[in-house]
Structure 1
Amino acid sequence: IIPAHFQRRLPVRSTAAVPRCRRSSWIMSYCGHTKLKNLDAGWADFAIENLLHVGDACVFELVSRDA
């Protein structure tokens, strides 16, 4: 789940999301239409493959936006 203080800046619709890290990418959806905005099941693959643990932080940068 995306932190509440950041959710206010995100769109209220769902859209594709493709995080990229170290020459890899993961296809998932950003779910902006739900009460608690989040990334779908593709997030689990991203977290596992990048060895994320509880307490870790990720910094995302928007590099392109489809209109």
Structure 2
Amino acid sequence: MTYTNPNKTVINRLNYFTKQLNKYSKARFDYLLRRSDKEPCSNRFERLRLYKDLMHKMIDQQNY
């Protein structure tokens, strides 16, 4: 069973997801171009993908 905060709207969740995805993409791009020595977390993309899938299921259940 997953906990969902009833105070968070779909817009808030989409906003959070896009912010986190942009942060990951920027870090990954900078690392690939050798602008940064810090490699992004190896499982970050999978976690973002999981969040997206769960958010999509929640939206489908709420019939948006």
One fold, TM greater than 0.5?
no
Decide which structure has greater helix share.
2
TM-score calculated relative to the size of structure 2: 0.22
Decide which structure has greater strand share.
1
TM-score calculated relative to the size of structure 1: 0.21
Looking at CA atoms only, which structure, 1 or 2, has the larger radius of gyration? 2
